[in-house]
Amino acid sequence: MNVYCGLDWAEHHHDAALVDETGALLAKKRITDDAAGYRLLLELLAEHGDTPENPIPVAIETSHGLLVATLRTGSRPIYAVNPLAAARYRDRHAVSRKKSDNGDALVLANILRTDMAAHRPLPRDTDLARAITVLARAQQDAVWARQQLANQIRSLLRNYYPAALDAFLGKQNGLIRPDTRIILTAAPTPARAAKLTITQLQAALRRAGRVRGVATEAERLKEVFRGDYVRHPVAVEDAMGLQLTALLLQLDAACRAADQLATAVEEAFLKHADAQILLSFPGLGVQLGARILAEIGDDRARFADARALKAYAGSAPVTRASGKKTYVGRRFVKNDRLMAAGFLWAFAALQGSEGANEHYRRRRSAGDWHAAAQRNLFNRFLGQLYHCLQTGKPFDEAKAFIAAATGPTPLSPVGQK
């Protein structure tokens, strides 16, 4: 007899329901969110025939947490069902739209009983791959937070401190640079910046780690800070200086976090067996390669073919047809982190691969906008990556981009933007 388990999870407790292949309820139980509750759940599964050789599949509306980690021990398949999909299934059992935790657990169990083939179990990634996922996502979040703070500082400086924008925005990394943060911390207002001497500016640049061109840069900054700019009243300017100081403290913390996590990502990523294959692709460095690996994992059976990987990433177009109307456009339901990494990958590859650059130019000449051409290039890279990971071979430029036939590639009907 086949048995299916559904789990409705909450912050302090979880509801479990087990049904057989006919839909009859075999057991239901509420467990606590602690080690004792997890043991009780495993005992309940064992009572109904859960063994390593014949595990009971479990459906739950999340893919993270200690409960999922406990259930993933052994060979038990775990199905993370989207809450929106589970809500649609609920209407099949009650038209009154009633809702309860134990009822939701029963709905999840019946999803596996009737439509298991339409859902995918969680991938069986290695522990190292899962650790890389945690680190790479955390580093990506830190980079996004750092940029958000930099944007807030830029907006504030534009309101009262235009000299700082003139001094630093023209440089690479702009407001994120260590010398920028140190000088703005020492002089958070235009009045204090105008009083900085050459010696003080040189000392600040050296504290930031600058070695070359210190004297020249100090002279340039002094000239900019003492330029002619419109100023707020002193009291207002000082208040904005305090606001800038607070934002700089947050930016310093975000920069340190991003740097520390980047180091941890590099150490973990280079230990993985797939690292060298990913690094063989043009445009992929350690951090970007780790982000790609973090999202696709290392379970070779996760994607049936390259098309499945492309659909998961959102790079493959999707068709919507109704009657005589057919529309082929870009996907909106996708792995957003993987797509964000894909755009960076495609953009970086334009400089590192002649074949990638030619492919991008062909798409542009055929009528694609920049984003559509990049997405098309990323889509092609994913197919090549799938092949390389399945065969264990590194990227080969000569095989990846065979000389294109004369004339531009016909434009696909995918949306241009």
What string of H, E and C letters represents the secondary structure of 289-306? HHHHHHHHCCCCCCCCCH
Q: Which two tokens stand for residue 416?
A: 């241009």
Residue 403 has pLDDT above 60, yes or no: no
Give every CB contact of residue 95 below 8 A, 6+ residues apart in sequence: none
Residue with tokens 């993985």: 272
The pTM (predicted TM-score) of the whole model is: 0.86
The model's pLDDT over 375-385, given as tens digits with 9 standing for 90+, comes to 999 999 999 99
What's residue 263's pLDDT? 97
Q: Confidence band (pLDDT; 50, 70, 90) for 406?
A: very low
5-9, 94-98, 238-242, 376-380: lowest mean pLDDT where?
Answer: 94-98
What's residue 96's pLDDT? 67
What's residue 73's pLDDT? 84
What's residue 409's pLDDT? 46
- What average pLDDT is seen over the chain? 91
- Average pLDDT of span 245-251: 97
What's residue 387's pLDDT? 96
Residue with tokens 């440089």: 171
Q: How far apart are CA 4 and CA 345, in angstroms?
A: 41
User: Taking phi first (over 0 means left), then psi (-120 to 50 degrees means alpha), and beta for anything else, what does residue 292 get?
Assistant: alpha
The model's pLDDT over 258-311, given as tens digits with 9 standing for 90+, comes to 999 999 999 999 999 999 999 999 999 999 999 999 999 999 999 999 999 999
- Average pLDDT of span 351-362: 94
Q: Give the max Cα distance, the chain.
A: 84
The model's pLDDT over 12-44, given as tens digits with 9 standing for 90+, comes to 899 999 999 998 999 999 999 999 999 999 999
Give every CB contact of residue 252 below 8 A, 6+ residues apart in sequence: 181
Q: How far apart are CA 321 and CA 349, in angstroms?
A: 34
- Average pLDDT of span 132-158: 96
Q: How far apart are CA 354 and CA 247, in angstroms?
A: 42
Q: How far apart are CA 156 and CA 4, in angstroms?
A: 56
Strands 325-329 and 318-322, by their bridges, are antiparallel
- Average pLDDT of span 345-352: 94
> How many angstroms separate the Cα of 23 from the Cα of each of 87, 99, 109, 157, 295?
18, 19, 9, 64, 35
> How many angstroms separate the Cα of 257 from the Cα of each of 147, 149, 222, 239, 401?
13, 13, 31, 28, 39
Residue 322 has pLDDT above 70, yes or no: yes
